[in-house]
Amino acid sequence: MEVFFTIVFIVMFVATAAFIVFGFMTVFNPNMRSKWVGRQLQIHKKVLEDNKETIKDINSLGGEVAVDSLNDILDKKGDDMKKAADRSAELSKDSIKTVTRSIKEGLKDEIYCKHCGDAIDADSKFCKHCGKRL
């Protein structure tokens, strides 16, 4: 019995860990999130298509209308949803780049010339771009 609980514990631990790792990967990797959304849309469409007849049989006309309108929505809006996910991925990438650049610049020990606005070394006495005294 103890062995059984140990196995159950290990399986649950591994599953939880995998779930958390996957969650973090999709949150922090915009490309992966975009791909994931695209795949989810495909899966939804496939499940709907595969079960179209069953759903129709169960729900008769209502089901048919529901399936058709869901398919319509996916046909019309599926691309938009994918585009929105791609756009959000792009924006996330841009903001990550901006933050990275700011951090890099903050670490570089550079200041900006008050005359021409170019980047100069923090300890220089004259601007290397406009030559004015700092």
What residues make contact with Zn ion under the rule CB under 5 A?
113, 115-116, 127, 129-130
Nearer to Zn ion, 44 or 129 (CB): 129
Cα separation, 85 vs 92, in Å, equals: 10
Nearer to Zn ion, 15 or 111 (CB): 111
The least distance separating Zn ion from the CB of residue 107, rounded to whole angstroms, comes to 22
- CA distances (Å), origin 6, targets 3, 15, 17, 92: 5, 14, 16, 41
The least distance separating Zn ion from the CB of residue 102, rounded to whole angstroms, comes to 22
Cα separation, 67 vs 11, in Å, equals: 38
The least distance separating Zn ion from the CB of residue 116, rounded to whole angstroms, comes to 3
Asked if 54 and 95 count as a contact pair (C-beta separation under 8 A), the reply is: no
Strands (E), the chain: 110-112, 119-121
Nearer to Zn ion, 85 or 120 (CB): 120
- CA distances (Å), origin 43, targets 2, 23, 37, 110: 40, 19, 10, 51
The least distance separating Zn ion from the CB of residue 112, rounded to whole angstroms, comes to 9
Nearer to Zn ion, 93 or 129 (CB): 129
